[in-house]
Structures are given as C-alpha cells and as structure tokens.
Amino acid sequence: MTNAKTEYGVIPKEHWNIPDDIDMNLNELLKTYDYYWRVEPNVDFYCDIDFDPFVYMKENDIKYGFTLVPYESLAIIPTLWGTVKEFIRMYPNLIEDDSIFEFITDDHGKTYNLCQFWSNFEIADLNFWRSEAYTKLVNFLDKKGGFFYDRWGDAPIHTIAAALFLEKHQIRFFEEIGYHHGSLINCPKGNRLQSKCRCDPVDSV
C-alpha cells in the first residue's frame, strides 16, 4: 500500500471496553425499600425539617420531590430528546394525560428546554423507577447507547420520566427544605418558614 515507513499499534481491550469492575446488573441494595432520599457530600441543609418527607409522600401520593431546577447543557445530551420523541411515538399509551409535559418543552414537544430537577437532591418513590413505563424508557434509551457514548445523566432522565409518566400532583417542590449545593441555593420564602431557616431568600436561584 505504501513504501513509506508506517507504524502500527494495538489499543488494549481495557482502554476501550467497559471496565470489569462496572456492574451491568441492577443493584439489589434498595430492593426492599419503597422510598429514598439522595444526600450528597458537601451540601448544606438550611432549615429545620420538622416533618417526615417519606410519610408525607406516602399520604399524599407524591412520587418525586425536588428543590433545585437548573438547566442541563445541550452539549452533553445532544441526542437525548430525539431519542425520547422516538420512544413517545412508539409508546403513546404510556404517557400521562395530566402530566407536566409543558414544563420540559416550550414548543409542545419539538425541543427539550433543558430544565431538569437536580438529582443531587431528590426524594422519590422507588416503585416509580420500577414501573413498567420507566423501565421501558430506560431500556429503550440504554439500547440507543447514549448513557455510554453521550453521558446522558440521571437528572434529565429522571426529569423527563417524571414529566411523561406522573400526574401533576405526584411531583412536589420541597421549598421548605432549604438546600445548598455548589453555586445553587434554595431558601424558602415567607415568614412562616423563615423562622426555621438560616439562609436569605434573595440568594435562591
């Protein structure tokens, strides 16, 4: 093919394959639980929490709770929404009529507006993640390869799933739980809550 000097090399399997220490099966740790509260390191909780969020969620049929709603970067998930739209076309019967779909799109579904419930704080019903609708969505997305190749994150996936499959009343903004992570803060507004908090509402974003 050529008279020029050429060099060849072999890329070791461990440089391009999924590492052996990655468990590709579902984790069994939460199998016996109905709810979880995700708590990250290096965060602050600014308010006295004088109620049980799990009991509240169970009594009020809440499936997902959040405190912060930043934007995701389109550069990270350029192919996600197109894949989600393909899923919606294939499984229209799984989409909830009384949903918050318009929360995640400003043009009736043509594009994703990148709003996401920041998942470093989330309180959720594990049975929602085990549901037929969510399981089908995750399996569909997984087969498209976006988790591995595009780094689709859990926050936009959880947000989109909640917006597609849950009724409006099943999603709750836990404003009364003052929370700080990185540069983002949720500090409750109103005299009723300020007496229980050590933050300034003007700092909320």
| Residue 121 bridge partners (DSSP) | 39
Q: How far is Cα 4 from Cα 162, in angstroms, rounded to an integer?
A: 59
Of 182, 187, 181, 179, the residue nearest 203 (C-alpha) = 187
Question: Token digits for 200?
Answer: 């300034």
Catalytic positions: 122
The strand pair at 179-181 and 184-186 is best described as antiparallel
The strand pair at 184-186 and 171-173 is best described as unpaired
